[in-house]
Amino acid sequence: MALAVKPQEALDLWRRALVTTVRSGGADLSARQLAVVLTVYMTPPPHTVRGLASLLKISKPAITRALDRLTALDFARRRRDEQDRRNVLVQRTVKGAVFLSDFSSVVAAAAREV
Amino acid sequence: MALAVKPQEALDLWRRALVTTVRSGGADLSARQLAVVLTVYMTPPPHTVRGLASLLKISKPAITRALDRLTALDFARRRRDEQDRRNVLVQRTVKGAVFLSDFSSVVAAAAREV
DNA sequence: GAGGATCGGTACGCGGGCGGAACGATTCTC
DNA sequence: GAGAATCGTTCCGCCCGCGTACCGATCCTC
């Protein structure tokens, strides 16, 4: 089901949602960090450091640091892969789900105002 | 005209657009900087430093630094207000308009995929 | 025109993200 | 089992953004 959004509407939607989140002064995630959370929660597992790095085309250390931040916020969790103990699997948390739920409400509310 | 977007669709829209922009490795603006550009281009002028600071609920120096960055990228321009020479008016540029046009295409394309 | 209010910018110290290179741990290859 | 390959992490120097406090310039009040 494709959403029909005109370019002008797209910008206005983004602006309203962005202003709301900036004003709220909340979690203050960078674009990369937010992209990581969204990917972990909305695309099928498993999620590894290397997989996320190649998906987002950024360096491995950048993913490691993003995960450091996200685990500190309790928005994600690391777990060793028992099948291949070199891998680290990124998993969801309740707090992360709540954060994304709130965030989606902000975007949906912004869409209603466009 | 209200856009009808379900919370789940909102998250997926945001994720797709965000992943595209992160992958492109383009301008790499922070949330605040992007909020400033969008506000300058999509809400009626005049735009002053103080006005932007109170709208986004952040400090004046943060706006000054954001404008430093945006003017360096030639996405915005500073101009003294001749009526009240204490004020600085933030103005648009062609390059900024092109940037936002590209960005809106990314969001609109992401919406089509949702 | 003197004193205070308001504008945007600057100085400062701090915290944090960046990529490249090296690291230990684990697995694969032969 | 030895050596190469792959995984995530850590180290390094660098750059950038943050808020508080202060600055000069400009305007307003009386």
CA atoms within 13 A on the CB side of B99: 20
Q: Which residues are within 7 Å of strand D by their Cβ atom? A: A 48-51, 60-61, 63-65, 67-68, 78, 86-88; B 30, 32-33, 58-62, 65-66, 68-69, 84-86
Residue B51 scores a pLDDT above 90:
yes
The 10 Å Cβ neighbour count of residue A96 is 20
- Select the residue of B11, B18, B104 nearest A11 (Cβ to Cβ): B104
Chain A positions in Cβ-Cβ contact with residue B112 (cut-off 8 Å): 2-5
pLDDT over 60 (residue A14)? yes
Angle made by CA atoms B28, B33, B38, in degrees to the nearest 5: 105
The confidence score (pLDDT) of residue B26 equals 75
- The pTM score is 0.89
Query: Closest to A42 (Cβ–Cβ): which among B15, B31, B55?
Result: B15
CA distance A80 to chain B (A): 25
Chain A hits for B23, CB-CB cut-off 8 Å, are: 55-57
* Under 8 Å between Cβ of A90 and A48: yes
- With 60 as the cut, is the pLDDT of residue B41 above it? yes
**pLDDT grade for B19, boundaries at 50, 70 and 90:** very high
Q: pLDDT tens-digit profile of A73-95?
A: 999 999 999 999 999 999 999 99
* Placement of tokens 């997926």 in the chain: B12
pLDDT of residue A1: 54
Residue B83, min C-alpha distance to chain A (Å): 29
pLDDT of residue A28: 82
* pLDDT reading at B1 higher than 80: no
Q: How far is A85 from chain B (nearest CA, A)?
A: 28
> How does pLDDT run across A26-46, given as a tens digit for each residue?
778 999 999 999 999 999 999
Per residue in A46-75, pLDDT (tens digit) is: 999 999 999 999 999 999 999 999 999 999
Predicted local confidence at residue A7, as pLDDT: 84
For residue A33, which nucleotide's C1' is closest to its Cα? C17
Mean pLDDT over A99-109 rounds to 93
Q: What is the pLDDT of residue A4?
A: 78
For residue B48, what are the contacts with CB-CB under 8 A and spacing of at least 6?
Answer: B81, B87, B88, B89, B90
Neighbours of A17 (CB within 10 A): 23
pLDDT at residue number B7: 84
Share of chain A above pLDDT 90, in %: 84
